Amino acid sequence: MTIEKTAVAADGVKLHYSIHGSGPLRLALTHSLAMTGSFWTRLIDALGDHATVLSWDCRGHGASDKPAGPYTVEMFGDDLATVFDAAGWDRAICAGASMGGTVTLAFAARHPARVSALGLIDTTASYGAGAPEAWEGRAQKARDEGLASLTAFQETRWFSDGFRAANPGLVAECVEIFCANDLNAYGETCRMLGAADLIDQLPAIRVPTMILVGDEDYATPPPMAEQMHGLIGGSTLEIIAGARHLTPLECPDLIADRLLTLARKVEA
């Protein structure tokens, strides 16, 4: 069972979200750049009847509004709090992939009482020196040449060679979602990621935290995961062999298993 709803942020932006299932575990999931809440479909299926899952379209994405910028990860974190309020959720295990992981960290920093555990998947707290220029370059390429000009680059970052060859339909679906993005919103989100820096927030995290990354991920490579692991006390780090940047799509059963393991830590 899936219920589709809309929340409204303080600035009037409408945020689309979905509630899936009715299991005992509450899990809130935030998607990667230029994707939508549908990014989590394979993972939700893998979780089965263990969880009630909240997924949503970040502002500038999918069925949510696409306001003018600038955007910040703190703004997106507050948007997730708005979605929680609309759904009647006080607290949940919160996980995100890539951009979604950075947004989840911002949510945890600004609304710590609403987070029972964190799943940081293929993500980073900061893209480091030179990030603003690199992300601006990507935004400008999309503006000048169209989003389709980035798809060959994205496909090889998203998925390992073997997975792409074996799953052309899924790759094509991701490309279709990517190319449907609003150019202005995509550019503003790129700039948001270039400016994001949550490194100083990491030592304050006190909830169980699971960090996962593919060993072939060159968008948010393992050293970024290792940096977060070193600064978040008690966190776990797993490097997944043979996987690239979008592990919830490439190995959903593994990610689901690790999230359920995280949930058991919360229960304990």
* CB atoms closer than 10 angstroms to residue 267: 8
Q: How confident is the model at residue 268 (pLDDT cuts 50, 70, 90)?
A: confident
Q: Cα(218)–Cα(241) distance, rounded to whole angstroms?
A: 13
Specify the 3-state DSSP secondary structure of 100.
Answer: helix
- Length of the chain equals 268
Q: What is the CATH number of the domain that holds 20?
A: 3.40.50.1820
Q: Is residue 163 in a domain?
A: no
Per the prediction, the chain carries an average pLDDT of: 97
> What does pTM read for this prediction?
0.97
Burial of 105 (0-12, 13-18, 19+ CB in 10 A): buried
pLDDT mean over 95-121: 98
Do the domain assignments include residue 159? no
pLDDT at 61: 98
Query: 237-248 b/e with 16+ CB inside 10 Å = b?
Result: bebbeebbbbbb
Q: What pLDDT is attached to residue 37?
A: 98
The pLDDT assigned to 161 comes to 95
Amino acid at 258: R
pLDDT at 35: 98
**Residue 93 counted as domain residue:** yes
* Cα–Cα distance for residue pair 210/21, rounded to 1 Å: 23
- Any domain includes 164: no
pLDDT of 50 above 80: yes
Asked whether residue 173 is assigned to any structural domain, the reply reads no
Q: How many CB atoms are located within 10 Å of the residue 89 CB?
A: 16
Does residue 251 fall inside a structural domain? yes
- Percent of the chain predicted with pLDDT > 90: 97
Domain region containing 98: 2-127+196-267
Q: Is residue 216 part of a domain?
A: yes
pLDDT band at 1 (very low <50, low <70, confident <90, very high): confident
Q: Domain total for the chain? A: 1
Contacts of 224 (CB under 8 A, 6+ apart): 123, 124, 125, 128, 213
Does 165 fall in a domain?
no
Residue 132 in tokens: 């603003």
